[in-house]
Amino acid sequence: MDTDQQILETFEKYLAQTLFPDEPELLYAPIRYSLAGGGKRLRPMLLLLSYRLFGDDVQRALPAAAAVEVFHNFTLLHDDIMDNSMLRRGKPSVYAKWGQNTAILSGDAMVISAYKLLEQIAPEYLPRILKIFNQMALEVCEGQQYDMDFEQKQKVSVVEYMNMIEQKTSVLLAGSAMIGATLGDASEEQIRQLRRFAIELGMAFQLQDDLLDSYGSDQWTKPVGGDILEHKMTYLMISAMSHSSESERKVLRETHRREDLTNEQKIETVLEIYNRHNVRHLTEQQISLRFDRALAILDDLGDEERTEPLRHFARSLMGRKK
Amino acid sequence: MDTDQQILETFEKYLAQTLFPDEPELLYAPIRYSLAGGGKRLRPMLLLLSYRLFGDDVQRALPAAAAVEVFHNFTLLHDDIMDNSMLRRGKPSVYAKWGQNTAILSGDAMVISAYKLLEQIAPEYLPRILKIFNQMALEVCEGQQYDMDFEQKQKVSVVEYMNMIEQKTSVLLAGSAMIGATLGDASEEQIRQLRRFAIELGMAFQLQDDLLDSYGSDQWTKPVGGDILEHKMTYLMISAMSHSSESERKVLRETHRREDLTNEQKIETVLEIYNRHNVRHLTEQQISLRFDRALAILDDLGDEERTEPLRHFARSLMGRKK
């Protein structure tokens, strides 16, 4: 059986061979730049590992795996314009490097290129895969829209936030798992279970991302407190809001704008309210709940040996040893 | 047999019934607005008429017809951002009405929605249709990129210009005709001929658009001379350049920027050089050549009665009686 590392290398090789024309240079160079920029290849890996749970010939699943990776990178190109982000994976974003119009148009060519990869799928699978892919792709757009809507809103409930991150983060993982399982001839019930696995795992991952941004850890390399300074709606902020008094909520809403405080003081002020309401513990509980649910679903999908690659994927995604 | 008008009404009804969710409002309202904004439905009509040349059950071709129309409107949403266009079909563009981020994200949801419509295509046709659709969609992006590249270029040849408008305008018509013919079980050779028909017709249409912008006519409702004032690379400008002396070329390049001239004087100055080199006549010749070629291709595809709907489509596209 291939190891994860072998599967990843096979995928990287396939993706690098995926041909984009040379001309027009300004359309395709940003696509090559974006795909060569690394990233963890989480979605294609989840697709391939989900396939491997049922099928043996990993080659059959490579075009779909490349399609979800190209689609994911397309969303980054356009998100970076919408969020005015100049950096992506530590390098200039396509938006920063080539400008807005190129990021729009190369992004468009990229989403079409994702569909072009689906041409490689065997005809008997194509209708089902196209349907899952479309549903996934639309829900990602919906999640991005809800995320932008939240920035305008005074009040966001925990349930609304959970729905948003489910759409924005988990949906692409869920679609990848479903496509892999479908190509492996899994049953409807097994596909449904892998979908739940991916959603719970994606939520755990997103919540952990929220937590680390405010509390840091050994693995966290970005500066701590970024979300607080940008007043981003995160699970921590929304939980704190829902447990706070009116006067505390005012502090949570206004601290990031105060000109009399340094960044360190702003972060400290907000963390102090988080701590008062045990937000860190609440978030850790929620992460464990989601992560444990994800692993429990795998128990139904096969014995430990068979499901070990997906368990390993889940643990390394969360930076956990066990 | 259905008349063109009946086919158009059937299409409009189908498109209006194509369901877009209510939420998130800001994602889907711009899509509904864009599709309800009219337009001539040239591409879906060409698809349906190409289908009708071979097949009888027009219902079978409606999802693909809607897909090309939704795709076309997606390109307009993003083009309007790139061109900073505030008006579209006499109404505020999505970009003007909702802003850049909405136009990007709703456009993204729209291109995915076009692929979602392809789910309705019978499985035995899907692989071929998906392939034609992808190829067409990528070439439209390539055409838009070449168009943007031209704005930066000092010198564009007539051949380069012809290639660009072939990709930007004709490719979508050609893809529509090919998809319709494929769904009607046309032969490879027939599909190839319909493709040529659409390309020649699309070129004739684009060249006529260039001509009318500078010389006007009874049917031309926009102000005359817009392309000249924007110094757009059109067939007229490029032909004039290629026949001009160095001093005339300088005038052609610089007139639109001169602050000592009124708009009327600028237009007059450029037209004077056009007339000196017979540019109007050259363009009319080129239009007739393309249009006649398009109609000649139809002769090979069936008798006059059978091909009459496509002839009628071609004539009304060009505003011709015969």
Cα A149 off chain centre by: 19
Scanning the structure block, which residue is given the tokens 């948003």? Answer: A164
Q: Computed over its alpha carbons, how large is the radius of gyration of chain B?
A: 21
What is the value of ipTM here, to two decimals? 0.93
Please report residues of A whose CB lies closer than 8 A to that of B26: 145, 148-149
Please name every residue paired with A91 in a beta bridge, in sequence order, or none if there are none: A88
Residue A157 φ then ψ, to 5°: -85, 160
Count chain A–chain B contacts defined by CB atoms under 8 A: 110
On chain A, the residues whose CB falls within 8 A of the CB of B138 are 109, 112-113, 116
Min Cα separation B164/chain A (Å): 11
Low-confidence ranges of chain B (pLDDT < 70): 1, 220, 321-322
pLDDT at A1: 55
Q: What is the pLDDT of residues A94-136, one digit of tens each?
A: 999 999 999 999 999 999 999 999 999 999 999 999 999 999 9
Nearest CA in chain A to B143: A24
CB–CB of A251/A269 below 8 Å? yes
Partner residue opposite A115 with nearest CB, options B26, B113, B134: B134
Per-residue pLDDT at A322: 63
pLDDT, position A166: 85
pLDDT per residue as tens digits for the range A234-273: 999 999 999 999 999 999 999 999 999 999 999 999 999 9
Q: What pLDDT score does A163 carry?
A: 87
Q: Tokens in use for B201?
A: 């017709």
At B46 the three-state DSSP class reads helix
Radius of gyration over alpha carbons of chain A, in Å?
A: 21
Q: What is the mean pLDDT of residues A208-223?
A: 84
Residues 60..119 of A with a Cβ closer than 8 Å to B: which?
78, 81-82, 100-101, 104-105, 107-109, 111-113, 115-116, 118-119
Contacts 24+ apart (CB under 8 A), B114-118: B114/B67, B114/B68, B114/B70, B114/B71, B114/B74, B115/A115, B115/A130, B115/A133, B115/A134, B115/A137, B115/B67, B116/A134, B116/A138, B117/B18, B117/B63, B117/B64, B117/B66, B117/B67, B117/B70, B118/A130, B118/B63, B118/B64, B118/B67
Which has the closest alpha carbon to B130: B120, B140, B144? B120
Which chain B residues are Cβ-neighbours of A133 within 8 angstroms?
Answer: 115
Asked if B138 reaches chain A (Cβ–Cβ under 8 Å), the answer is yes
Nearest to B225 by CA among B247, B254, B256: B256
Indicate if the alpha-carbon torsion angle B246, B247, B251, B257 is positive or negative: positive
The one-character DSSP state at A123 is T
- Best of A20, A111, A112, A139 to disrupt the B interface (most B CBs within 10 Å) is A112
At B169 the pLDDT is 82
- Predicted confidence (pLDDT) per residue in B17-43, tens digit: 988 899 999 999 999 999 997 788 999
pLDDT cut 70: percent of chain A above it = 98
Instruction: Measure the CA–CA gap between A76 and A35, rounded to whole angstroms.
Output: 11
pLDDT at site B167? 82
Mutate to test the interface with A, among B81, B105, B168 (most CBs of A within 10 A): B105
Give the closest residue to B106 by CA, choosing from A109, A83, A142, A31. Answer: A142
pLDDT, tens digit, 9 for 90 and up, residues B50-83: 999 999 999 999 999 999 999 999 999 999 999 8
Q: Give the Cβ contact number of residue B114 at 10 Å.
A: 22
Question: Given CB atoms, is A29 within the 8 Å cutoff of chain B?
Answer: no
Shortest Cα distance from B141 to chain A (angstroms)?
6
Tell which of A140, A145, A148, A167 to mutate to test the B interface (max B CBs under 10 Å).
Answer: A145
- Of the candidates B47, B313, B43, which has an alpha carbon nearest to the alpha carbon of residue B172? B43
Phi, psi (rounded to 5 degrees) for B87: -120, 145
